[in-house]
Amino acid sequence: MLTSRARRTLEAVDGQTLAEMRALRDETERFMMRYKFGMDEVITKLSILREEFSQAHDYNPIEHVSSRLKTIDSVMEKVERKGVEPSFEAISETITDIAGVRVTCSFVSDAYRIFNLLAAQKDVSVVQVKDYIGNPKPNGYKSLHAIVEVPVFLSTGAVPVTVEVQIRTIAMDFWASLEHKIYYKYDRQVPAELLDGLTQAARTASELDENMERLHREAHGLPRASPAIEA
Ligand code: 0O2
């Protein structure tokens, strides 16, 4: 429902400007849709891996998969913050996390296993990997981040689409979501004692991950693993 002021503004816009505005709206919708399709493809790949792995190995390495598409406002905020030229081409080349998929696993070795299985697929190209599990952030943040490119097949042909995939354990995810809420609550000015508490909690979460994986291995008679990204 338009306000009378908005209606008056629209009435003052000439036909050509209105047509250009509509064309831009349609192009923006098409641009964002590609990311949704790319995200759906990655989710399907993960569902297949999850189901097939469970069937073949009687074990499920994926606990949970969630996804989010950035809003146009959030994309534009990042475009401004990073000083990116506001064209669809420049945005698609520079902003690689418009589509995001988060995978939660039980164990650290599963996080690397899922990444390696996804990266080995023929139609998946790995653009960038940030291994914050092997190299945690100073605040204790741990997660395996990958920017992958998948082809999306449209009626006009195939287009490559980037999707950010974050893979982590339940303990890492629990920590990251609390840390995110605390940062949001304090508008990034988190009191020092809370920051110390978060760093300590990150250590506890890592210890929990190590202990749980050791127990799992012992219970199943599995050898000690040194999980890593496969070339
Ligand atoms: P959202 O809403 O989750 O997308 P860049 O993405 O290039 O601007 P950067 O830091 O180079 O920034 O990317 P990086 O390191 O791959 O991290 C991007 C995302 O990882 C963040 O996205 C968070 O989701 C997550 N992340 C990174 N560091 C932390 C951290 O210290 N704590 C928590 N809780 N999450 C983190 P966005 O864009 O911030 O938000």
pLDDT 10s digits, 12-54:
888 888 888 899 999 999 999 999 999 999 999 999 999 998 9
69 Cα–ligand 1 center, Å: 14
Hey, CA dihedral for 207, 211, 217, 223, is it positive or negative?
positive
pLDDT of residue 116: 96
143, part of any domain: yes
pLDDT of residue 12: 82
229 in a structural domain: no
Q: Indicate the number of domains in the chain.
A: 1
What length is written for the chain? Answer: 231
Q: Specify burial of residue 115 (Cβ count, 10 A radius: 0-12, 13-18, 19+).
A: buried
The pick from 68, 81, 97 for probing ligand 1's pocket by mutation, whose C-beta has the most ligand atoms within 8 angstroms, reads: 97
What per-residue confidence (pLDDT) applies to 102? 98
Q: Is 93 left (phi over 0), alpha (psi -120 to 50) or beta?
A: alpha
Taking residues 151-179, report their average pLDDT: 97
Residue 7 lies in a domain: no
Contact status, residue 34 vs residue 152, Cβ threshold 8 Å: yes
Q: Give the pLDDT band of residue 6 (cuts 50, 70, 90).
A: confident
Identify whether 192 is part of a domain. yes
226/74: higher pLDDT:
74
- Establish if 230 belongs to a structural domain: no
Which atom in ligand 1 lies closest to the alpha carbon of residue 100?
4
79 contact partners, CB below 8 Å, separation of at least 6: 86, 91, 94, 95
Q: Identify the helix (H) or strand (E) that includes residue 203.
A: helix 192-220
Question: What does the angle CA 218 – CA 223 – CA 229 come to, to the nearest 5 degrees?
Answer: 120
Residue from 75, 172, 179, 180 to probe ligand 1 pocket by mutation (most atoms less than 8 Å from CB):
180
Go through 34-57 and write b for each residue having 16 or more CB atoms within 10 A of its CB, e for each that does not.
Answer: bbebbbbbbbebbeebbeebeeee
Alpha-carbon separation of residue 171 from 62, 191, 198, 218 (angstroms): 14, 23, 13, 20
Task: Find the mean pLDDT for residues 191-208.
Answer: 95
120 Cα–ligand 1 center, Å:
25
- 55 within domain boundaries: yes
Q: Take atom 17 of ligand 1 and give the residue whose Cα is closest.
A: 145
CATH of the domain at 57: 3.30.460.10
Please, how many CA atoms are within 13 Å of residue 38, restricted to the half-sphere of its CB?
Answer: 31
Give domain status of residue 95, yes or no. Answer: yes
Percent of the chain with pLDDT over 90: 79
82 CA closest ligand 1 atom index: 8
Q: Which of 231, 197, 222, 230 is nearest to 107 (CA)?
A: 222
What pLDDT, on the 0 to 100 scale, is given for residue 104? 98
- Ligand 1 is surrounded, with C-beta below 6 A, by 97, 100, 130, 137, 139, 141, 145, 176, 179-180
To the nearest whole number, what is the mean pLDDT of the chain? 93
Question: Which residue's C-alpha comes closest to atom 4 of ligand 1?
Answer: 97
Give the residue, by CA position, lying nearest to ligand 1 atom 12.
97
pLDDT tens sequence across 127-138: 999 999 999 999
Spatial contact of 125 and 104, defined as CB atoms under 8 Å apart: no
Beta-bridge partner residues of 129: 146
Q: Is 41 a catalytic residue?
A: no
Q: Considering the candidates 29, 85, 164, 193, report the single residue annotated as catalytic.
A: 164
Q: Are 49 and 124 contacting, i.e. CB atoms less than 8 angstroms apart? A: no
- The yes-or-no verdict on residue 74 having pLDDT over 80 is yes
> Is 202 among the domain residues?
yes
- Give me the torsion for CA of 152, 158, 159, 165, rounded to 10°: 30
pLDDT confidence of residue 203? 96
Q: What domain range is 23 assigned to?
A: 15-220
204 vs 187: which has the higher pLDDT: 204
pLDDT of residue 226: 78
How confident is residue 80, by pLDDT bands cut at 50, 70 and 90?
very high
Q: What residue's CA is closest to ligand 1, atom 38? A: 97
Give 230's pLDDT tier (boundaries 50, 70, 90). Answer: confident
Whole-number pLDDT of residue 188: 85
